[in-house]
Amino acid sequence: MISPDRPRARHSALVRVTHWLMTLAFLALLVTGGEIVLSHPRFYWGETGNVNMRPWLNLHLPSSRDTVPTGYNYVLPDQNGWSRYLHFEAAWVLVATGLLYVIWGFFHGHFRRNVFPARADLSIKTIGSSLLSHCRFERPGEEEVWSYNVLQRVSYLIVIFMLFPLMIWTGLAMSFSFDAAFPAAVNLLGGHQTARSLHFIVTILLVLFLLVHVFMIVFAGFVTRVRAMITGRVVAPKD
C-alpha cells in the first residue's frame, strides 16, 4: 500500500527535462511548419512539383503567395522568414535533446526498464485486452501511475524510434546542401517532393499522437500525471 503523504520517485530529472524541451521544440516546429505549408499548400510525389503540375494532395487552404491558385480571393501575409529560421532552430533543440534522451536512456536502463514492453506483454491477448479496455474508456488502475501500460510502451517506441527519426530524415532530405553531401538521404526516399509529402504525413501522425496523448493524460488524471512529469514525484491520492 502506498502511504498517502510520502511522495515517491516516478520520472527521473533527465526524462522530465527532455520531455518538456521536446514538447516546446515540437510545438514550435509544428506551428512554423504549418505556416511554411501555407506558402504552397499542395503536395507531390517524386522529384518535382509546382503549380503547373498536378498534386496528389491539395489542401484547399488559402496561401501566403498569390502565385498559388487557391480559389480564395485573398492572400495571407508572408511569415516564412521567421518561420523558417525558428523551424530550423527548434530542429536543433529537438535533435540535441532527443539524442541526449536516447543515449542516456540506453546507458541508464531507462528503455529496458520503463519503455520496452515485457516479452510476456507482447502477446495478442495482452495487447488485445489493453486495446479493449481503452476502447471502453475504462479508468486506469492504481498500478498505471507507476508504469506505462503495453499500448503506451508500443506507441512511445514508435514515436521515439520511428516517427521522430523519420521527421528528421525527411526534413534533412529537403536541404539541397545536405543532399549534395548525402544524396542517399533523398534518393532512398524517392525524391525531393516525396520527402516533402512524407514530412507532412508523419507530422499528421505525430499530431494525432499528441492529441491522444493529451487526452489520455487528462483521462487518467491530469494533475497527478503532469505533476509527476514536472516534479518527478507522485503524491498518492488520499483514499
Partner 1 sequence: MSEISRRKLITTGLAAAASVSGIAVAAKLAQRHGLIPPDAATRYGTGETLTYAAQRVLGSHATAREFSRSQISEKPFANEVDPLGDEFKRLQDGGFADWHLAVDGMAARPTTFSYSEIKSFPKSSQITMIGCEEGWTYIAEWSGVPLSYILDRVGALPQVRYVVYRSFQKDWWESIDMADALHPQTLVATGMNGADLPVPFGGPMRLRVPRQLGYKSIKYLNRLTLTDNLKGFGKGTGGFAAEVGYAWYAGI
Binding residues (CB under 8 A) for partner 1: these are 36-37, 39-40, 47-53, 65-67, 80-82, 84-86, 88-92, 174-183, 186-187, 192-193, 196
Crossing angle of helices 150-158 and 192-231, in 10° steps, is 140
**Which CB atom, from 65 or from 227, has the smaller least distance to partner 1?**
65
- What is the smallest separation between the CB atom of 123 and partner 1, expressed in angstroms? 38
Kindly tell me the sign of the dihedral angle through the C-alpha atoms of 74, 80, 86, 87: positive
- What is the smallest separation between the CB atom of 61 and partner 1, expressed in angstroms? 13
**Which CB atom, from 1 or from 180, has the smaller least distance to partner 1?**
180
**Which CB atom, from 124 or from 180, has the smaller least distance to partner 1?**
180
Q: What are the b/e assignments for 148-157, b being 16+ CB within 10 Å?
A: ebbbbbbbbe
Is residue 74 packed enough to be buried (19+ CB in 10 Å), middle (13-18) or exposed (0-12)?
Answer: exposed
**Which CB atom, from 68 or from 154, has the smaller least distance to partner 1?**
68
Is residue 2 packed enough to be buried (19+ CB in 10 Å), middle (13-18) or exposed (0-12)?
Answer: middle
- What is the smallest separation between the CB atom of 71 and partner 1, expressed in angstroms? 18
**Which CB atom, from 53 or from 207, has the smaller least distance to partner 1?**
53
- What is the smallest separation between the CB atom of 170 and partner 1, expressed in angstroms? 13
Grid coordinates representing 178 are: 545536405
On whether the CB atoms of residues 176 and 195 are closer than 8 A, the answer is no
- What is the smallest separation between the CB atom of 81 and partner 1, expressed in angstroms? 3
